[in-house]
């Protein structure tokens, strides 16, 4: 098979063809920012919560200012509760009309433009489908109620204008049965017990403006573990059974706050920071109070394999990106999520080093490419969506983060971070759109980068490069040709991008900066001898797919001498030369000696694909690798051999390895081996506690495999 065909095959294996896309984004509904007839200023939410009956009673006082001359009716979003009365600020009853989704309050008189008004709505509801979730006690969590306000669900538990372009202050005065604790945004003003009624009332005040979907409430028998960053209270609200897991899960939070304060150039703006366990699927930022799935709670043994720093840093970053400044409409979700996702990369790299950061960025790129190849492509900034949740995808999160990384590379570190600081200070406590960020870039750097934002934010897709290089021995030059071959039929542009080309010649490295602006470009670089390595986008900045044929000599050199991403790429490509003993030998050496775990893991997986006769011995040795991910990859490779003679080896690994990940993979390998004598061992292993019950699930999966 020719080299080009080999690499095309590899590319199509990793990223399936674009004709597998299942969604035509252009068919989605055209949306516009919601218009307001009044500016909501403050909500005072008094609410009594009955967890046993899954019921609530509320009295919400709305304070607003008219955006109209002669405003006579104030229309609020209100759903899944019944309004019984509305009183003016002087206690007079007001007429109102309630439909399935709205509450129209008829004001006592017309209000002038800018004039303030206030009234109180009284209402009750029971077990709403969304917005406020009452959940009975289970083995995983205690009895609990918590708000699920994102994206436009807060009006399911109090009447309000429920859209992110309106920022308010608010108070929550929540009454629950004694023994429960209530978490909410802002500063805790008071906790008052009523012994006769057997209740306790928490009064929280959020005195800096934020969007309504960020208003949060939770009540459960929490344990509150207190921490701080300097004078800032930092608290962890967890279920009693998880108290011992607080430090492994959350202990780095103060360090993260210090890091973000420094790189954003804007000191954490809120009164405190709480992270609150709830039985949801992930993290949901709320101002000063992040709702965090209890499933991230990890013990000391599990923390090295499953650190929470990704989700913890991401949700913390939203206190600036999403809470301090907030998207004006859902078309601009990237201002929340791309910045939050890039922030978790920034902290990850700071905490773990450059190589770990590079792999983190690679994973983000691959997450976007999977969606682009199999589901759809769309502009990152798009006013077409059927519902807000459509916008919270791998275009908004990882692709947007990679766009920020490209912007940083283009303008430089100092201008990039100064732009972030300027943007936050200029638009603090305001609703923003993408034009505001572009304006900040121009203000700080003096550069018009409209072309950059046009192709990366307002147009879909990414470049797909076919690259070739050849050395002209007579002319002593390297000729490199790059063609953009993406499908241009869906509005995908020909991209204008700066590219770094690395040449390694006689052991010396040189980097050339070029610009690609046309569908096809050619470049020449002086080279006294044939390069040992040619890298396109050597700093791994671009959002791209690439087909770049290389011969065996170059791949073996790349596997030994390139950066982490280059070495991983070389390892992944070498199985295409599986009929050449040198490929297997190079991979085996890499498994044994490469200094970075991700490269050793890639080499292990590649060697397994080759099926080399020496593979089993190499994999057994790799089961003693210092990194658990390499050990797990070696166990996958061994398990796929279905060799019953390895049964005792697997049992021994399960009993002595310090990693839940490796223990689970050892059980899976036992199941693949197909020896029924392992059934008692697997049944006993199923009772071993572990992170997210992964050992029990692996044991049950192995038993099922043996049952076949």
What is the rounded average pLDDT of the residues 622-629?
Answer: 98
Through-space distance between the first and last CA atoms of the chain, rounded to whole angstroms = 38
Q: What is the Cα–Cα distance from 380 to 455, expressed in whole angstroms? A: 10
pLDDT above 90 coverage of the chain, percent: 95
Q: Does residue 240 surpass a pLDDT of 50?
A: yes
What is the rounded average pLDDT of the residues 546-561?
Answer: 97
Residue 20's pLDDT band, with cuts at 50, 70 and 90, is low
- pLDDT one-digit tens code per residue, 438-449: 999 999 999 999
What is the rounded average pLDDT of the residues 76-95?
Answer: 97
Identify whether 374 is preceded by a cis peptide bond (ω within 30 of 0): no
- Which CATH topology does 25-30+325-456 take? Neutral Protease; domain 2 (1.10.390)
Q: Does residue 654 surpass a pLDDT of 50?
A: yes
Which of 184, 125, 185 lies closest to 156, judged by CA? 125
Tell me how crowded residue 307 is: count the other CB atoms within 10 A of its CB.
18
Write down the pLDDT at residue 390. 96
Q: Give me the architecture of the 38-221 domain, per CATH.
A: Sandwich (2.60)
Instruction: Compute CA distances 268 → 286, 320, 423, 501, whole Å.
Output: 14, 7, 15, 40
What is the rounded average pLDDT of the residues 311-316?
Answer: 98
Complete DSSP assignment for 484-533:
E-S--TTSPPPP-EEEEEEEEETTEEEEEEEEE-SSEEEEEEE-SS--SE
Lowest mean pLDDT among 4-13, 123-132, 168-177, 253-262: 4-13
What SS3 state is found at 143? coil
What is the rounded average pLDDT of the residues 276-289?
Answer: 95
Write down the pLDDT at residue 22. 78
Angle value at C-alpha 95, between 92 and 98, nearest 5 degrees: 135
Write down the pLDDT at residue 12. 33
Which comes out higher in pLDDT, residue 166 or 13?
A: 166
Q: Does residue 210 surpass a pLDDT of 60?
A: yes
| Secondary structure of 113-138 in HEC code, one letter for each residue | CCCEEEEEEEEEEECCCCEEEEECCC
Q: Does residue 18 surpass a pLDDT of 50?
A: no
Write down the pLDDT at residue 281. 85
Write down the pLDDT at residue 434. 98
> What number does CATH give the domain 462-549?
2.60.40.1840
Tell me how crowded residue 92 is: count the other CB atoms within 10 A of its CB.
10
What SS3 state is found at 577? helix
- pLDDT one-digit tens code per residue, 394-421: 999 999 999 999 999 999 999 999 999 9
Complete DSSP assignment for 154-197:
GGGTS-B--STT-EEEEEEEEEEETT-EEEESSEEEEEEEETTT
Residue 16's pLDDT band, with cuts at 50, 70 and 90, is very low
Matching fold, domains 25-30+325-456 and 462-549: no
Q: Does residue 309 surpass a pLDDT of 80?
A: yes
Q: Does residue 359 surpass a pLDDT of 60?
A: yes
CB 120 within 8 A of CB 105: no
Q: Does residue 7 surpass a pLDDT of 60?
A: no
- pLDDT one-digit tens code per residue, 571-606: 999 999 999 999 999 999 999 999 999 999 999 999
Q: Does residue 6 surpass a pLDDT of 90?
A: no
- pLDDT one-digit tens code per residue, 37-83: 999 999 999 999 999 999 999 999 999 999 999 999 999 999 999 99
**For the CA atoms of the chain, what is the radius of gyration?**
29
Lowest mean pLDDT among 189-193, 266-270, 281-285: 281-285
Pick the CATH number of 222-299+315-323 from 3.30.2010.30, 1.10.1840.10, 3.30.70.260, 3.30.750.24: 3.30.2010.30
- pLDDT one-digit tens code per residue, 118-176: 999 999 999 999 999 999 999 999 999 999 999 999 999 999 999 999 999 999 999 99
What is the rounded average pLDDT of the residues 304-315?
Answer: 97
Domain ranges of the chain: 25-30+325-456, 38-221, 222-299+315-323, 462-549
């Amino acid at each position: 098979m020719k080299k080009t065909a080999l690499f095309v095959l590899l590319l199509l294996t990793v990223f399936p063809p674009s004709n597998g896309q299942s969604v035509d984004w252009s068919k989605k509904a055209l949306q516009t920012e919601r218009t307001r007839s009044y500016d909501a200023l403050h909500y005072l939410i008094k609410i009594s919560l009955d967890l046993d009956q899954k019921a609530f009673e509320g009295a919400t006082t709305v304070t607003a200012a008219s955006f109209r001359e002669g405003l006579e009716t104030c229309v609020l979003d209100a759903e899944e509760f019944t309004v019984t009365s509305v009183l003016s600020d002087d206690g007079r009853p007001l007429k109102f009309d309630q439909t399935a989704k709205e509450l129209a309050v008829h004001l006592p008189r017309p209000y002038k433009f800018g004039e303030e008004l206030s009234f109180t709505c009284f209402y009750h509801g029971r077990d709403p489908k969304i917005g406020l979730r009452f959940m009975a006690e289970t083995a995983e969590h205690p009895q609990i109620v918590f708000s699920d306000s994102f994206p436009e669900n807060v009006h399911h538990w109090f009447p309000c204008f429920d859209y992110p372009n309106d920022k308010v202050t608010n108070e929550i005065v929540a009454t629950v049965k004694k023994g429960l604790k209530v978490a909410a945004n802002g500063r805790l003003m008071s906790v008052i017990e009523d012994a006769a009624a057997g209740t306790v009332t928490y009064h929280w005040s959020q005195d800096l403006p934020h969007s309504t979907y960020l208003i949060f409430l939770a009540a459960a028998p929490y344990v509150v573990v207190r921490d701080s960053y300097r004078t800032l209270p930092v608290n962890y609200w967890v279920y009693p059974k998880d108290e011992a897991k607080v430090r492994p899960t959350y202990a780095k939070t103060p360090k993260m706050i210090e890091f973000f304060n420094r790189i954003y150039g804007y000191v954490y703006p809120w009164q405190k920071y709480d992270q609150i366990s709830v039985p949801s699927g992930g993290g949901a930022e709320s101002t000063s109070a992040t709702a965090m799935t209890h499933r991230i709670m990890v013990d000391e043994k599990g923390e090295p394999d499953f650190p929470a720093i990704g989700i913890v840093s991401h949700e913390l970053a939203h206190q600036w990106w999403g809470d301090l400044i907030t998207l004006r409409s859902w078309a601009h979700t990237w201002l929340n999520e791309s910045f939050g996702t890039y922030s978790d990369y920034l902290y990850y790299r700071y905490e773990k080093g450059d190589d770990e950061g590079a792999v983190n960025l690679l994973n983000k790129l691959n997450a976007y490419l999977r969606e682009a190849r199999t589901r759809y492509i769309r502009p990152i900034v798009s006013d077409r969506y059927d519902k807000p949740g459509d916008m919270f995808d791998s275009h908004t999160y990882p692709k947007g983060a990679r766009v920020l990384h490209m912007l940083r590379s283009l303008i430089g570190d100092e201008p990039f971070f100064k732009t972030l600081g300027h943007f936050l200070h200029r638009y603090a406590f305001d609703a923003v759109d993408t034009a505001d960020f572009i304006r900040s870039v121009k203000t700080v750097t003096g550069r018009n980068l409209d072309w950059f934002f046009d192709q990366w934010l307002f147009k879909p897709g990414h470049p797909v490069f076919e690259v070739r290089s050849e050395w002209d021995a007579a002319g002593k030059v390297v000729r490199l040709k790059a063609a953009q071959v993406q499908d241009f039929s869906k509005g995908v542009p020909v991209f204008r991008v700066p590219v770094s080309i690395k040449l390694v010649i006689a052991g010396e490295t040189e980097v050339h900066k070029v610009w690609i602006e046309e569908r096809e470009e050619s470049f020449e670089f002086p080279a006294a001898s044939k390069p040992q390595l040619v890298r396109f986008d050597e700093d791994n900045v671009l959002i791209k797919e690439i087909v770049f044929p290389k011969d065996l000599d170059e791949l073996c050199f790349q596997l030994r001498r390139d950066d982490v991403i280059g070495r991983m790429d070389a390892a992944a490509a070498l199985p295409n030369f599986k009929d050449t003993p040198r490929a297997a030998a190079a991979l085996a050496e890499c498994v044994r000696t490469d200094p970075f775990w991700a490269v050793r893991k890639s080499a292990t997986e590649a060697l397994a694909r080759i099926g080399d006769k020496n593979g089993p011995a190499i994999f057994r040795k790799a089961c003693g690798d210092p990194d658990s991910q390499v050990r797990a990859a070696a166990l996958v490779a061994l398990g796929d051999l279905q060799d019953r003679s390895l049964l005792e080896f697997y049992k021994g690994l399960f009993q002595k390895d310090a990693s839940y990940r490796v223990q689970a993979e050892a059980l899976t390998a036992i199941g693949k081996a197909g020896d029924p004598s392992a059934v008692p061992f697997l049944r006993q292993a199923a009772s071993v506690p572990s992170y997210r019950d992964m050992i029990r699930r692996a044991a049950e999966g192995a038993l099922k495999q043996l049952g076949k």
